[in-house]
Amino acid sequence: MIAYNFNWAVIWRNWDAFLGALALGLGLAVVSLVIGTIIGLFLAYARLSPSPWISRPAWAYVEFIRNTPLLLLIFFVYFGLPEIGIYNLDKIQSFILTLSGYAAAYMCEVFRAGLASMPRAYGEAAKAIGLRPWQRQRHVVLPVMFRITLPAVSNNLISLFKDTSLAAAIAVPELTFTARQINANTYRVIECWLTASALYLVTAYAIAIALRQVEKRYAVVR
């Protein structure tokens, strides 16, 4: 057996740093999800457009994002934007931009499936009571679609939260970056990474449980 003496004092001393970093990661995930949802919704409508001039670019964007490693996208945006004359994004903004664009592609697929699975009768009923197209989307289709897709959205939020760990690669001080720094300063390797892992795990499942409650509350009875 390899001897390893645990020393958790290091963790307690840095507990606030861990929690702060965790909060930052969570914040990045939520902000990206919100932006990604809005863009993703437009992309989903674009993909369902009858005009290939609209649907094809949306398709290309989604496939491009989904087949490119996230880390590469992060570097691409972070190091690439200044190349095309955009200098004023700091690393957090740059990361949010990337993760939002990334989330948008995945949300687009979620919404596309959601819109496709919408019972046609809803739209027709809305038409029958005289709602105009925009009103039909706003008051009938979208509310139902959001409810149908809620489980997939929560899964995406959890994925995004885990993906915020990649922000460490451009030195955004979220949980992974912080754990790595404390690891480097203290050499308490196992404690550090166990703590980081546990925090990710607990938070991921806390999100899952919380959103399960929301899902129950808004479940569509079909």
Partner 1 sequence: MDPDCSTFFCQAWTARWSLLEGLMVTISSSIMTIVIGTVLGFVVGLILTYGMLPLRLLARLYVDVMRGIPVLVLILFTYYGLAILKIGVKPYWAGVIALSLFCVSHVAENVRGAVQSIPQGQHEAGMAIGMRFFQRLRWIILPQAVRRALPPWVNTALEIVKGTTLLSVIGVVELLLASQQAIARNYMILQFYMAATIVYIIINFSIAQAAAALERRYAYLRY
**Does residue 147 interact with partner 1 by CB under 8 A?**
no
Q: What is the CA radius of gyration of the chain?
A: 21
Residue among 126 and 175 whose Cβ is closer to partner 1: 175
**Does residue 171 interact with partner 1 by CB under 8 A?**
no
Stretch that binds partner 1, among 43-51, 97-105, 130-138, 163-171 (CB under 8 A): 163-171
Residue among 153 and 207 whose Cβ is closer to partner 1: 207
**Does residue 30 interact with partner 1 by CB under 8 A?**
no
**Does residue 6 interact with partner 1 by CB under 8 A?**
no
Shortest distance in whole angstroms from residue 54 CB to partner 1: 22
Residue among 142 and 204 whose Cβ is closer to partner 1: 204
- From its phi and psi, is residue 219 left (phi > 0), alpha (psi between -120 and 50) or beta? beta
One DSSP character per residue, 152-176 reads HHHHHHHHHHHHGGGGGGGT--SHH
**Does residue 19 interact with partner 1 by CB under 8 A?**
no
Residue among 72 and 221 whose Cβ is closer to partner 1: 72
**Does residue 2 interact with partner 1 by CB under 8 A?**
yes
Q: Which residues contact 189 (CB under 8 A, 6 or more apart)?
A: 183
The upper half-sphere exposure of residue 135, i.e. CA atoms within 13 Å in the direction of its Cβ, equals 9
d(Cα 110, Cα 128) in Å, to the nearest integer? 28
SS3 111: helix
- Residues 193-212 binding partner 1 (CB under 8 A) are 193-194, 196-197, 200-201, 204-205
Q: For residue 114, which of 155, 72, 147, 163 has the smallest C-alpha distance?
A: 147
Shortest distance in whole angstroms from residue 57 CB to partner 1: 16
Q: Which position among 34, 189, 209, 219 is part of the footprint of partner 1 (CB under 8 A)? A: 189
Shortest distance in whole angstroms from residue 84 CB to partner 1: 7
b/e for 128-163, b at 16 or more Cβ within 10 A?
A: eeebeeeebbeebbbebbbbbbbebbbebbbebbbb
The one-letter amino acid at 190: I
Binding site for partner 1 (CB under 8 A): 2, 4, 63-64, 67-72, 75-76, 79-80, 83-84, 162-163, 165-166, 168-169, 176, 179-180, 183, 187, 189-190, 193-194, 196-197, 200-201, 204-205
